[in-house]
Amino acid sequence: MPGYRDFKIARYNYKKDRTVFKERGIEKLQIQSNVPAHIKYLKKVGFKEDNSIGENYFSYLLN
């Protein structure tokens, strides 16, 4: 995997420093994707399938 796709930024933003989200009152991230490589990335950084909001949706709880 190329170095620029090593997940460090995602891990930092989603797990270590959630300040920017907390300052804006964001508690949950939601995204929709049909792209297999993107879905694999989302799962790798901690997003979970969330079909309660629609098909091919993924959620990440920030609390």
User: What is the mean pLDDT of the segment spanning 3-30?
Assistant: 77
pLDDT in tens, 26-55: 899 999 999 999 999 899 888 999 989 889
User: What is the mean pLDDT of the segment spanning 17-25?
Assistant: 83
pLDDT in tens, 24-34: 898 999 999 99
Q: CA angle at residue 47 from 44 to 50, to 5 degrees?
A: 140
Number of domains the chain is built from: 1
CA atoms within 13 A on the CB side of 49: 6
Please state the pTM of the whole predicted model: 0.74
Q: Residue 32: which domain range? A: 3-61
